[in-house]
Structure 1
Amino acid sequence: MNQRVLRVLEYHKIVEQLIRQASTQMGKELAGQLQPFAGIDVVQQALAATEEGRMVYRLKGLVPLGGIRDIRQAVKRAAVGGTLDAKGLLDVADTIMASRRLRKFVLDLAEQQPIPTLQRLAEELFELRPLEEEIRAAIDDNGEVVDDASPELKSVRNQIRQTQGRIRERLDAILRSPESQKMLQEAIVTIRNDRYCIPVKVEHRGAFGGIVHDQSASGATLFIEPAVVVQLNNSLRELELQERREVERILARLSGLVGSEADVLQSGLAALGEIDFIMAKAQLAHQMKAALPAVNDHGRIRLKRAVHPLLERDKAVPIDVRLGDDFNLLIITGPNTGGKTVTLKTIGLLTLMAMSGLCIPADEGSEISVFAEVFADIGDEQSIEQSLSTFSSHMTHIIEILEKADSRSLVLLDELGAGTDPAEGAALAQAILDFLRKRGVKTVATTHYSELKAYAYSHPEAINASVEFDVESLRPTYRLLIGVPGRSNAFAISERLGLRKEIIEDAKSRMHADNIQVDELIRRLEANQLQAERDRREAAELRKETEALRAELEKEREQLWQQQQRLIERAEEEAREIVRKAEREAQSIILELRRIRQQEGANVKEHELIELRKKLEEAAPAGRERRVQRKTAEQQELRTGDTVRVLTFNQKGTVLEVGAGEALVQIGSIKMKIKLSDLEKIEEKKQDTRGMVKRKSDEPTRLELDLRGATVEEATYEIDRYLDSAVMAGLSQVSIIHGKGTGALRAGVHEFLKKHPQVRSFRIGEHGEGHTGVTIVTLK
């Protein structure tokens, strides 16, 4: 990318902001080297990495990058056999720990969210815990080699401390001696040339013997190493030399360990820098309130509410820009200080940012093209006087642009043709734009020349745009209006400033009628554009309100549906209770029929059966509909001998005769005429080797039968009916609750179960099953 263009568009200021977001030296270097990419694949990869960083930042905030040091030079030195000092080794240990912490952070997050680029980089980070532990075992947090770094070092340091103690003892004895005190300048021990000395008055220099190491500035004091400690000081110096050699040996050993892991450390440091760089891009996007743009390589630019990244997002006026769809040439006109140059720089700088893998300060849905080259000729539009040299400078840049620009280029031209004769400048500007248009170059140009407005109307590949100006306040609004050419507003501004009306009218009369009509046309176009913008905003607000209303209605519908479901469930529960009540009444009627049969030898009169059946029908709940539609006998071919279920009684029976609309059915020892609609044919088939006939009942059979309060006779009837249902339901084990009481009911139940053909065995309930109040029955 042309470095002059980067400088003109102030790309370096974005890079500087990015550098400030980085935490490590490696990340800062990568940020400082950032350049726009020319290939769309590379741009998409860079933007995808930035989006991963934004996701991490949204979910977790700042990533743990603390403790990372720039140890690249230290690692290189160790790799070639150099020895690192204790501080350098401690930096290596700190960086290993930080790398391990960052690796865990990213990989744990990768299990929750897809972040492939960051995950790949995290997998390259080093852990090297043994190396870190070796360093920390030998060097403390202050960067000092500890005594336990080696047995030899511990031994020599103990000897040093002992020797220092003996020296202090002998010197303290001298200091405490009354004879010596009057010869000393001060009763202190000092060190000169790494030797322990005492300050002696110069006139008593021969009283102690020993070696003079220093003299005070006044000459009145000599720092003497007494003869009694000379040998001890010599021994101390030897021990200190041993200590230094042992420390150097330890540092050399640790440096060798670092050097053996140099490749792993170098690649991991590179990955650390890339992760820091990605997170710096994410933090910059957050700071700018930027969005991730879509990218293409077709020259299409669509910016929604974009602002210049060096302006405050909340204070800057956003602009909407499009280029490369139905037109390739955008000509922006308007007054000075109206924002034309800022618009030009915004388009160029946001394009460079997107091509560098950065988010841009624009709304979601913005799109940027990846260009092979971006060219810009942007000067000082605020300059009143432009000399020939300035015009020549601009033309030099434009000539270079015209030589290199093609259909894969973006060209930005500010105040095209300015700085020379207006007529020549306008003609030259049209010729330059026509050359770029024919080459298919995506071009944005700003100008004052009205001739270029007509040029845009003459070519379908070009379109006018303007920066809006508020005549009332005499200030620009900085809004970009595409499709509307700018106008000078000179007459309106002059009138607002108080220029005499007759002067303004005289000036208007001197203008060509066509110019006046064009200016009026532009004014109307601008008004229509503003109205269209207002209508669009109102439509967007209305759509937003409609969507909110729709969401609210959906919520209310969901609530109504849930309320309806609750009402249905409540109604079903009430219906089940009615059915249970009806079944209890039906069972009472059946017991009455059985009693009549036993008392009267089955000589039941017809009117008694009709009376009891009427009671049974009245017991059934009104309007009850079965959920499962059955095929009744009316819908089946019913023959003599078929087994049927009498729906009214919920009992099995055998068909004896079939008549018109009814059948004679035998239920146990009772024969009754029953309507075909109250009969359901049972398809009997063998289910197992025992020859038992089973079928599933329409409603689930309970796993227990409660007989408490029933007589033995009632209980046997209920057991018989219940066991029949249990067998048909395929149950293998059921519970019969008879209670403890006197034991009479339990005895009657057991006596009946002994003779029942469907019972394999039975037993009294165990702990947790009801003890003697329950009998557990195993069915065949």
Structure 2
Amino acid sequence: MDQDLQFDQVKNKLASFARTSEAKERIVNIKPLTNIKAVESLLTQTEEAVKLLNLREHIPFAGSENIEHLLKKVEKGISLDATELETIADFLRVNLLIKRYFYKRKMLAPNLALIASDLVELTKLENEIYSKIEHGIVSDNAGYDLGRLRRKKCELKEKVKNYLSDFLKNKNYEQYLQDYIPFKKEGHWTIAVKASFKSKIAGQVISKSANGKTFYIEPAKVSNLVSQILAIEAQITLIEEQILGLLTARIFEDLQALRTNLAIINEIDFILARGQFSIDFSAKRPQLNEKQELVLHEVRHPLIQHPVPLSLSLTNQTRGLMITGPNAGGKTVSLKTVGLSILMTEIGLFLPSSKPCNIPIVKDIFITRGAS
């Protein structure tokens, strides 16, 4: 039915207005509701979304594309890196902004405000992450001695740089050198030495040129400095891993709350997508009935450019309608528009019509291939 009536294409169009991948997936797989109260509730949410979007205010929003993936990692006991932790903190910060925004607009959008009010405030977790993670790295003050070790590492690297520079400028070594710049070979800082003078330089041969005329030697002084750097890097890595592990464990403690927030964000995203769809199509909220009455007022097919509007009325007095006309006369489009009008309503969409239509909430729509 979805393909025959192009309902799947309408859902894809609606999904394009959603921001999160979870909301997009939900829209693509959504099934029409057949309970009139449930559909009425969806339409009321859509109406509130339209009101908010028409204010043209900035609605703080957090995309959750990577959040579910990160929560799964935490669930499996895998430590998050600094960038991933910061993503979680950013998500929590925006959650709070969303909650506050909808609270301020609760008179205009009470149902959306009620949904947003269930967002769990995890300010303590957010602050813990931000206090230890800055710009995608573990901050200097996050752990004991971390800042000091990083500064020492930088000092040693500067010593390596200065030593190599002084060595290459030293007139005593000038005749030994094949070149006057340092070379990075296999992860080592080396100097290019003529083959006949390689024994004159105290250090470790790292590699040599293809013709054997140049030997790349890491001076002993550089080797000693690099060993110190590696030892410090190991200490830094250990401290960083401990901090990342502790923060990940804190997220695990609040995992259920994070999943709750994620579900709420995706729900709000879905509602706002319906609102934006309605605005883009200048759509009107339909009226619902359980009397099997269908009244359309110049409804436009949402997937056709410059469609001919369709108006028709099927009431208790008119139980059937026969459509005749030549090929390419619009019969199929008319039938699809009727079916789509009902299905779109049952997922909470407004209809692109000149004024509110009257739509029956039905359990089944029967079609034949001849109508596709």
| Distance verdict in 2 for CA 1:192–1:375, change over 3 Å | same
User: Residues 97-246 of structure 1 correspond to what in structure 2 (within 5 A)?
Assistant: 97-110=93-106, 112-113=107-108, 115-141=109-135, 143-216=136-209, 219-246=212-239
User: Residues 244-643 of structure 1 correspond to what in structure 2 (within 5 A)?
Assistant: 244-312=237-305, 315-379=306-370
Match of 1:422 in 2: none
Match of 1:94 in 2: 90
Q: Distance in 2 between matches of 1:30 and 1:16?
A: 11
- Could you tell me which runs of 5 or more consecutive residues in structure 2 were left unpaired when the two chains were aligned: none
Residues 205, 222 of structure 1: 8 Å contact kept: yes
Q: Distance in 1 between matches of 2:58 and 2:291?
A: 36
Q: Does 1:28 align with 2:17?
A: no
Q: Does 1:41 align with 2:37?
A: yes
Deviation, structure 1 residue 92: 0.7
Deviation, structure 1 residue 61: 4.7
User: Normalized against structure 1, the TM-score is what?
Assistant: 0.46
Query: 1:670-709, CA deviations, whole angstroms, 9 ceiling, x for partnerless residues?
Result: xxxxxxxxxxxxxxxxxxxxxxxxxxxxxxxxxxxxxxxx
* Alignment size in residue pairs: 372
Residues 67, 94 of structure 1: 8 Å contact kept: no
User: Normalized against structure 2, the TM-score is what?
Assistant: 0.93
Q: Distance in 1 between matches of 2:368 and 2:34?
A: 20
Query: 1:639-678, CA deviations, whole angstroms, 9 ceiling, x for partnerless residues?
Result: xxxxxxxxxxxxxxxxxxxxxxxxxxxxxxxxxxxxxxxx
| Distance verdict in 2 for CA 1:223–1:297, change over 3 Å | farther
Q: Using CA pairs under 8 Å that are at least 6 residues apart, name the structure with larger relative contact order, 1 or 2.
A: 2
Query: 1:696-750, CA deviations, whole angstroms, 9 ceiling, x for partnerless residues?
Result: xxxxxxxxxxxxxxxxxxxxxxxxxxxxxxxxxxxxxxxxxxxxxxxxxxxxxxx
Deviation, structure 1 residue 27: 2.1
| Distance verdict in 2 for CA 1:361–1:216, change over 3 Å | farther
Q: Distance in 2 between matches of 1:305 and 1:42?
A: 26
Query: 1:356-412, CA deviations, whole angstroms, 9 ceiling, x for partnerless residues?
Result: 111111133311111111111143xxxxxxxxxxxxxxxxxxxxxxxxxxxxxxxxx
User: Residues 730-749 of structure 1 correspond to what in structure 2 (within 5 A)?
Assistant: none
Q: Distance in 2 between matches of 1:240 and 1:367?
A: 70
Q: Distance in 1 between matches of 2:152 and 2:193?
A: 29
Q: Distance in 2 between matches of 1:269 and 1:57?
A: 21
| Distance verdict in 2 for CA 1:210–1:70, change over 3 Å | same
Q: Distance in 2 between matches of 1:88 and 1:210?
A: 42
Deviation, structure 1 residue 187: 2.2
Residues 209, 226 of structure 1: 8 Å contact kept: yes
Match of 1:83 in 2: 79
Deviation, structure 1 residue 219: 4.5
Residues 214, 222 of structure 1: 8 Å contact kept: yes
Q: Distance in 2 between matches of 1:256 and 1:90?
A: 15
Q: Distance in 1 between matches of 2:234 and 2:358?
A: 70
Q: Distance in 2 between matches of 1:215 and 1:297?
A: 87
Match of 1:65 in 2: 61
Residues 215, 222 of structure 1: 8 Å contact kept: yes
RMSD: 2.0
Matched residue SS, 1:291: coil
Q: Distance in 2 between matches of 1:201 and 1:20?
A: 64
Residues 305, 363 of structure 1: 8 Å contact kept: yes
| Distance verdict in 2 for CA 1:223–1:61, change over 3 Å | same
Deviation, structure 1 residue 67: 5.7
Bigger radius of gyration among the two = 1
Residues 30, 274 of structure 1: 8 Å contact kept: no
Q: Distance in 1 between matches of 2:7 and 2:123?
A: 42
| Distance verdict in 2 for CA 1:354–1:147, change over 3 Å | same
Matched residue SS, 1:151: coil
| Distance verdict in 2 for CA 1:335–1:69, change over 3 Å | closer
Residues 133, 139 of structure 2: 8 Å contact kept: yes
Q: Distance in 1 between matches of 2:120 and 2:183?
A: 49
In structure 2, what residue type is equivalent to 1:338?
A: G
- Could you tell me which runs of 5 or more consecutive residues in structure 1 were left unpaired when the two chains were aligned: 380-412, 415-780
| Distance verdict in 2 for CA 1:100–1:69, change over 3 Å | farther
Q: Which has the higher strand share?
A: 1
Deviation, structure 1 residue 158: 2.2
Percent identity over the alignment is 30
Residues 19, 63 of structure 2: 8 Å contact kept: no
